[in-house]
A and B are shown apart, each in its own frame.
Chain A
Amino acid sequence: MAERSFAREVEDLKLGEGDLFRGEGILAITKALLQSGVSYVGGYQGSPISHLMDVLADAKPVLDELGVHFESSASEAAAAAMLSASVMYPLRGAVTWKSTAGTNVACDALTNLASSGVKGGALIILGEDYGEGSSIPQERSHAFAMKSQMWLLDPRPNLESIVKSVEDGFELSEASNTPVMMQVRIRACHVHGQFVAKDNKRPAYTIKEALENPVRDLDRIVLPPVSITVHDREKIEKRWPAAIDFIKSRKLNEWFGPDEGAVGIILQGGMYNSVMRALQLLGLADAYGNTIIPLYVLNVTYPLIDDEVSAFCAGKRAVLMVEEGHPDYLEQAVNSILRRRDINTRLAGKGALPVRGDYTAAVLMNGIQAFLEEHAVALLGNRPPLPSADAVLADPKVKALNAVVPARPAGFCTGCPERPIFAAMKLVEQELGEHHVSADIGCHLFSILPPFNIGGSTMGYGLGPASASAFNVDAGKRAISVMGDGGFWHNGLTTSVGNAVYNKHDGVIMVVDNYYSSATGGQDILSSRADNPERSTNNSIVNAVKGIGAKWVRQIDRTYDVAKMRDTLKEALTSKEEGPKIIVASSECMLNRQRREKPLFSKAVKSGQRMVRERFGVDEDTCTGDHACIRLSGCPSLSLKHTDDPLRDDPVVAIDNTCVGCGNCGEVSEAAVLCPSFYRADIIYNPTRRDRFAAKVRNAVIGFLQRRREARRVVFG
């Protein structure tokens, strides 16, 4: 079970009619699902939607009471396929993942789902991981909606609108027999706000009922000719018009400001708050949403409602399309609508606004100003001074900061069990030279950054070893690929390991097993070691790879054994055996281990139990300030300090009290033969009488020898 408890958040899911919900956007969505009478929920964890999965995983009693089935899907593809339950049955289902990463994985199922059409509302919640803080390539989910014909919601980023959008989404899906996607950007997922809750609703139709009354409708199965003659026709002739009607009649899109105006702005719902701030800074709106520029807010960005668009544009000199990211799908579509209806309103968009990147309030402020300067300069009035940091940023004293403010990329946590794996790899490379290293997705990717600088590519989740598959020719070196346990179970077992076994790939596959899907927040997976009453855990990775045909397999149970790690890797790189050389390196994610063990330790100490805490230290007298140990570690607790000793030029290494005693630095300094400065200190809390006696004897002998030597030592005072 994930080591972090979401018990407090689960309480929020129980709020009833009229209660005030206060919390994060993604939790509001979770609550909205239960208010909408959802029957089943699935998904794959990942920023920024992990908490939806985490909270539901901890919410078993609430879900049981409502009769909601929740599943931690093996991948986004599995989650998307789960929505198949809404094809034949009037079941409301929701799935979630990080997009576009997860949408890519889910596409196969989504295509089929969109072709079949749905009877029960099918909602796909996309954590749109775009812009600052994103961890994936910069693409838009919009294209997926267009190519498969699914509807795309993009609600205004406040909790009330987001919750309403979930409820509308289910209804829209049912009204138009089409799966609906709802995209929520990073900041909106994490925004703290409030909304007035409703009672949770039991599903009108349950999964049990469906299971016991199976339905088989040939028209809903994706098989030619149905997919061509029925589904494709339905999409255009039935589902599309139904959606347009629903969106129009229910007014899912919104209008703000005056009806008439020389100019107006069309915007994605998600851009609303930033556009409002930009207008406010330009003196065209206030802090309470009152604007003198007409706004047409697309809470549904696909499909566009031609009538609404043309009515908004008609009679205006110019309209600005605010659409974050590229390509400019919306701008093109609006242009088409205007052209077809021969409306001569000028449309500005990309050009006034940048083609790519975050549309921050500052970017929008400048873009809207440029738009108004061209089309309605009078509105800018006497131009209040705009906020700007340009003068400050141009100052040499501020510019000088560029040289001293260090980059601070994410890295391995203190005590991370993956650190010694890459320290060992670096040691092997010092001996055998650099190798091609294919990385995967997950915490281990941080090896690409300093101080390890290991890893030359990353191609997707579970694809690390597959991305090394071309490197399978007779050569003086072998390719190394790295994959986490998360990627392994996501699809790495077949796509990467199976592929390597079948094609007799000669490379080395390092599976980093830290007992959790750690990078996404420490969720359990198939090989997690903890007993989880709701799930099947403790399924061995070694058995899995052997089952798929791998022969050369080594299990390392303590990654901190750097010497063993190094020797095993060396053996893998030099072994004569055919086929992939698979090393499964296992140690528990330290972040989760500490979450579990720290409270237990404190409790035991408080109750008077004898406990031993280990941590590491550096003798500054013997440290020569070369920092070789840091180049093999990068541990946050392994730091530096300047000394006042005039005979030392460079800062010495120091370990701070956040050290968790994982042992990596000692093992590394031993394996790499660095220096004798590292020591491990065992601190015995609540020593027993025996401990105290032993200490007394030791102190007597050691103290005597020490005093003897001190007495003879000639020193300056």
Chain B
Amino acid sequence: MSRPINPISVDEKPIAIAILAMGGQGGGVLADWVVALAEAEGWVAQSTSVPGVAQRTGATIYYVEMLKPKGGQMPVLSLMPTPGDVDVVLAAEFMEAGRSMLRGLVTPEKTTLIASTHRSYAVGEKEVPGDGIGDPLAVVDAFDVAAKKTVIFDMQTLAEKNGSVISSAMFGALAGANVLPFTRNAFEAAVRAGGKGVEASLRAFGAAFDRARDGKPDKVARKPDKLLPDAPVSVGHPKLDRLLGRIHSEFPPVLAPMLYAGVKKLVDFQDPRYAEEYLDTAARLLVHDRDAGGAARGFGFSQEVAKYLAIAMAYDDVVRVADLKTRATRFERVRKEIGATGEQLVYTTEYMHPRAEEVVGTMPALLGQFVENRPALLKLLERLFSKGRRVRTGTVGWFVALYALSSLKPMRRTMLRHKREMAHIGSWLETASALLPANYDLASAVIGSRRLVKGYSDTHSRGQGKFDKVLSVVPLLKAREDGGTWLKRLVQAALQDEAGKSLDGALATVRSFA
């Protein structure tokens, strides 16, 4: 059993590259390109993956190692990355960049992290009734700690703009990052050898190469800033200018941007007179706010009123939906969103499901109540109207039907639904302003709780139910200095899951205060 023993030489180390992608993102194509590139340059390259069920949406890691053969000896390459020993990490999505750091694949002595800033939300983020989207800034913060060098920009958008897919952009970024000992030509040759969609791939490759070279990372934000411009003094329409005049004269400047947003929304929803009513209510509540020492608190209460009163007054009814669906701007937006071009024709089909409640809600209040009190009638309406309707808005018949429905707008104030909404708004504001003298924060939080009322039909009732539940503990919180904070916590809890489990837990805590 005598074998020649070679001396070991510890100088040569393979280059290790990990690719984190989701199923269907082309991580395999990218790994293949890297292998082809290395092989064409005379290196030995090995790639592996644990795709599992990668045709779907799961997270997947591809791993490539490469090294030159030496004196007829082929290298022995590893089939998996070792934390702390990875040269390049490519993340095809921003949270996957976060995952690569959590897995220890990115270390400051060694690793260049190339990541696309775009997000593809996980189900766990999307299904939350409120805002469950993870904060990308946490990933940005960790870069400084973990990575030696980063190349960070939106490779998805760049690829789309160039008519290609993200793998080509990532390959370009890898070339531009200057971490592999191969020339740009060699990279491009690998893409050409792949043979599929070469032109578009090379375009995206080139754009990403340049982008990686210029070095500046894309700015990452949790969400876009809210558009809150200052209220103009005049827009040249007497009725609107009157509204603007009131905002400037009757309210402190700090409230002006939100009031302007509210007024805009309500003029669009109904008419300038409706916006006047909004300002009337806001002004009335501002008096209470001032009395409760609001000036020292930046009029926080009125700030909430300005926002949530506008949202509440612009409730979603059939008239509103019909109006929005028939607008010319909507037709244009749809074309743009679905990417229709040139002479392509686009027709939309709306999925609507009116119920007897909606029909009754559109009736004049007295008639509506009359019907509501007669179950037989209600049932008949249910049978007549309650079923799924596929509304082809682009055809003349359906368009005219929706158009006619939206022309009921001037009658809206007489409708049963409007009466109900106003009553609900009335009691909500009443509850809040009654609290103002005793507990300013709690009063503001009561206004903010309106966030829970949203959606249509069942969703709407569930939201309404949560809203009522949250407000039911207001008496328990009234005397507590941190009552407002607690109410806000309850609202957050209510937005966490559909069934309201978190809310029930939080409510139990609050009830234990008593």
Contact = CB atoms under 8 A, between A and B. Distances in A.
A683 interface: yes
Interface string B113-153: 00000001111111111110111101101101110000000
A251 to B, nearest CB: 10
Interface in A367-396: 384, 386-390, 392-393, 395
Given A280-B10, A403-B138, A643-B224, A288 B123 contact: no
Interface in A675-694: 675-676, 678-685, 687, 691-692
A255 interface: yes
A706 interface: yes
A666 B146 contact: no
A214 interface: no
A682 B346 contact: yes
Contacts of B124: 406-407, 450
B72 to A, nearest CB: 10
A273 B22 CA distance: 27
B75 A410 contact: no
A136 to B, nearest CB: 11
A617 B334 contact: yes
B338 A288 contact: no
B82 A644 contact: no
Interface in A67-101: none
Contact of B351 (A258, A392, A450, A679): A679
B135 to A, nearest CB: 5
Interface in A401-415: 401-413
Contacts of B263: 716
A526 interface: no
A192 interface: yes
A626 B463 contact: yes
A646 B12 contact: no
Nearest to A193: B46
Given A650-B495, A670-B353, A675-B456, A714 B237 contact: yes
B277 interface: no
Interface residues of A, number: 141
A287 B123 contact: no
B48 A187 contact: yes
Contacts of B73: 288-290
A703 B328 contact: yes
A624 B456 contact: yes
Contact of A679 (B56, B85, B349, B355): B349
Contact of A277 (B5, B78, B340, B349): B78
A663 B348 CA distance: 13
A705 B328 CA distance: 10
A150 B36 CA distance: 39
Contact of B80 (A187, A395, A451): A187
A404 B346 contact: no
A683 B341 CA distance: 10
Contact of A636 (B57, B130, B307): B57
A404 B139 contact: yes
Contact of A392 (B138, B145, B258): B145
Given A255-B1, A286-B9, A651-B133, A626 B399 contact: no
A688 to B, nearest CB: 10
Interface stretch (A205-213, A357-365, A543-551): A357-365
Given A401-B102, A406-B122, A687 B343 contact: yes
Interface in A128-168: 132-135, 157-158
A103 B507 CA distance: 52
A702 B399 contact: yes
A397 interface: yes
A514 to B, nearest CB: 13
A635 to B, nearest CB: 9
Given A401-B98, A698-B396, A684 B345 contact: yes
Interface in B1-50: 1-3, 5-10, 12-14, 22-24, 31-32, 35, 39, 45-50
B10 A286 contact: yes
A361 B80 contact: yes
Nearest to B335: A681
Given A389-B104, A698-B396, A650 B48 contact: no
B12 A287 contact: yes
Contacts of A135: 52-53
A283 B307 CA distance: 66
B145 A644 contact: no
B324 interface: yes
Contact of B1 (A259, A287, A622, A645): A259
Interface in B433-466: 451, 454-459, 463
8 contacts: A393-B102, A400-B138, A400-B142, A411-B58, A413-B57, A622-B325, A642-B133, A680-B348
Given A273-B78, A716-B240, 13 more contacts: A192-B45, A283-B10, A284-B8, A289-B73, A362-B83, A625-B454, A630-B127, A642-B131, A642-B223, A666-B351, A673-B458, A675-B456, A676-B456
Pairs A-B, 6 closest by C-beta atoms: A133-B50, A389-B104, A387-B84, A406-B122, A642-B223, A410-B58
